[in-house]
Amino acid sequence: MAPKMVTSFRRSLSFPNPPSHTSSKPQKTFHVRSTSLPCRSHPIISQLRDEIAELNSWSTVSESGCRTSAWLCDGLCRLKTVHESLDDLLHLPQTRESLRGGEYSSLIEKLLEDFLRFVDVYGMFQTLVLRLKEEYSAVQIAVRRKACEKIAVHSKNLNKIAKEIGKLAPNLASIGKLSTAPARAPYDDEAELIDVINDVLKVTVSVSGSLFGGLSNSSAFRKPSCMGLMNFGKKTKNVKVEGAIREFEEIDLEKLRKQAEEEVKMASKKMHETEDCIVEIEGCAERAFRSLINTRVSLLNVLTQ
C-alpha cells in the first residue's frame, strides 16, 4: 500500500543537496524528471493527488445557491488541470516502462476504452450545446418581439436539446474502476500509478455529471413537467447527475408569454446574461474536452512508442 503523501509536496520536499537561497525555485515541480528523490513517489503523482483532492472538495458543494455557472466553469478548469498532470505523468519514461508489461496490456486497453467514451460524450456535448446556444438566441428575439408562437416553438426545441444533454450522463456508467495487478513489493509503483488513474476517472465522471445535469435540469431550457424525469441517479450507480445551475433557474419561458412589457424587458436583459454564461461554459467544456483527447493520445503512445 502506498504511504500517505504530505498535503503540500512541493513545499515540503527535501532534496539531498538543497539549492542555494539565491536560486529561484521552479514554479512547476512536476517537470522534474529526477528519480533520485528521497521518496519513492514521483512529484507529478503528488501534484496530481493534490489536484484531485481539490476537485473532490469542489464537487461536495450541494447547496443549489452555490451551483453557479462560475462554479461549474471552475470545476471544468480544475478537471483540465488534472488531465494535463496525468498527461505529464504518462510522458515519463518510468511510467511507460511500468505500463508496457504484459500483465498491464488489458488494463491499458480498458483505459483507452474509457477515455474514448469520455471523448465521444464530450464531442456530443459540444454539438448539443452549440444547438442550445442557437435556440436560446432565437428565443430571445422572439421574446423581444412578443412572438408567442415562436417562443413556444423555440421552448420546445430547447426542451428537446436539454433532454439529449441529460441522456449523456448514463453513457459514462460503464466507466469503472481499473483492476490492479498483484503487488510484487511492499511499495508497488505500478499499484500507486493505477490508484491515481482510478481517481482521475472518478473525478472526471463526477464533473461530467455536474455539467450535464446543470444544463439539462434548468428551467430555462426544460418544461416544469419534465424536470422530475431527470433522476438518473436511480438508473446508474456510477454517474450522479447534479441539479440545475442558479442562473439558468432565473428564466421561465412559459411565464414570459404572460408578463407585462416592462417585465419582458427585464427578462430579456437577464436572458442575455444567461447566454453569456452558456458561452463561458461551452468554452470551458471545450478546453476540458481537448485535455481528454491529449490524455488518450498519450495512452496510445504508451503502447506504440
Q: Are 263 and 61 in contact (CB under 8 A)?
A: no
Closest CA to 227 of 212, 217, 213, 214: 217
d(CA 64, CA 82): 25
Confidence of residue 224 (pLDDT cuts 50, 70, 90): very low
Record the cell numbers describing residue 45, joined without a space: 503523482
- What pLDDT shows up at residue 96? 85
d(CA 19, CA 82): 28
Dihedral angle of Cα 96, 100, 106, 112, to the nearest 10 degrees: 30
Tens of pLDDT, residues 107-146? 888 889 999 999 999 999 999 999 999 999 998 888 888 8
Angle at 111 between CA 171 and CA 92, to 5 degrees: 140
Rounded mean pLDDT, 151-179: 88
pTM, entire model = 0.76
